[in-house]
Structure 1
Amino acid sequence: MEARARAKQVRVSPFKVRQVLPLIRGKKVGDALVVLRYTPKKAAKVIEKVLKSAVANAEHNYGLDIDKLVVVEAFADQGPSMKRFRPVSMGRAHPYRHRTSHITVSVAER
């Protein structure tokens, strides 16, 4: 049985989230949480929350043993971009995008 958790419209770009996700893929949940705790990236804190949520879902919904859980799948998709403008000289404006991401983490017993 596989438990899944998803965080939607997280205010971190998917590129930055994808830099952290390979660190936890395929690892035991305890090891993955330790790695995320000491990773100096903003995305690591968000991924840690999603992983804890997936573990809670596995325990509560399916009655799985937490000590046997492994991160099976972890990926980030692009969410909607907030479009904004920054004023520049001579009355002009330059557009920029605040990118968001949808983070999904799945855990299962091995």
Structure 2
Amino acid sequence: MEAKAHLKYLRISPRKVSILCDIIRGKDAKTACVYLMQTPKAASEPMLKLLKSAIANAENNNGMDVDKLVVTTAVANPGPILKRGRATARGRYSRILKRTTHITIGVSEKA
């Protein structure tokens, strides 16, 4: 059984978030929390909050033991892109893409 937590429309690029997903995938839950607390990335704070939510879901909804939890899935998918623009020299227009991310973290017990 796997307990999941989702975060949608995070205003950080999926490329930056997927680095943290790769770091915590496969680690036990407490070690993953420590990694996220010590990593100086902008996405580490929302990812830590999401991981704690997944751990709480596993404990309360599925009755799993917190000490045996392992991060099985950590995925950062692209969300909708906000298109903005700015004026540049000679009346030109340059487009700015503000990317969003949908994150899913799943935890399950060690076998």
Q: TM-score, normalised by structure 2?
A: 0.96
Unaligned runs of 5+ in 1: none
2:82 and 2:64 map into 1 onto residues whose CA distance is 39
Question: How big is the shift at 1:93?
Answer: 1.3
1:49 and 1:83 map into 2 onto residues whose CA distance is 28
Between stretches 59-68 and 99-108, larger displacement belongs to 59-68
2:4 maps to amino acid: R
Equivalent runs, 1:40-55 vs 2, <5 Å: 40-55=40-55
The answer for the alignment partner of 2:93 in structure 1 is 93
Equivalent runs, 1:66-85 vs 2, <5 Å: 66-85=66-85
The answer for the alignment partner of 1:61 in structure 2 is 61
2:70 and 2:94 map into 1 onto residues whose CA distance is 45
Unaligned runs of 5+ in 2: none
Between stretches 87-96 and 77-86, larger displacement belongs to 87-96
2:60 and 2:86 map into 1 onto residues whose CA distance is 47
1:86 and 1:22 map into 2 onto residues whose CA distance is 34
State the superposition RMSD in angstroms: 0.7
Q: TM-score, normalised by structure 1?
A: 0.97
Equivalent runs, 1:1-40 vs 2, <5 Å: 1-40=1-40
1:14 maps to amino acid: P
* Percent of aligned positions that are identical: 49
Regions of 4+ moved over 6 Å: none
1:33 maps to amino acid: C
Secondary structure of residue in 2 paired with 1:9? strand
Secondary structure of residue in 2 paired with 1:42? coil
1:19 and 1:31 map into 2 onto residues whose CA distance is 16
How many residues of Structure 1 are paired with residues of Structure 2 in the alignment? 110
Question: How big is the shift at 1:98?
Answer: 0.3
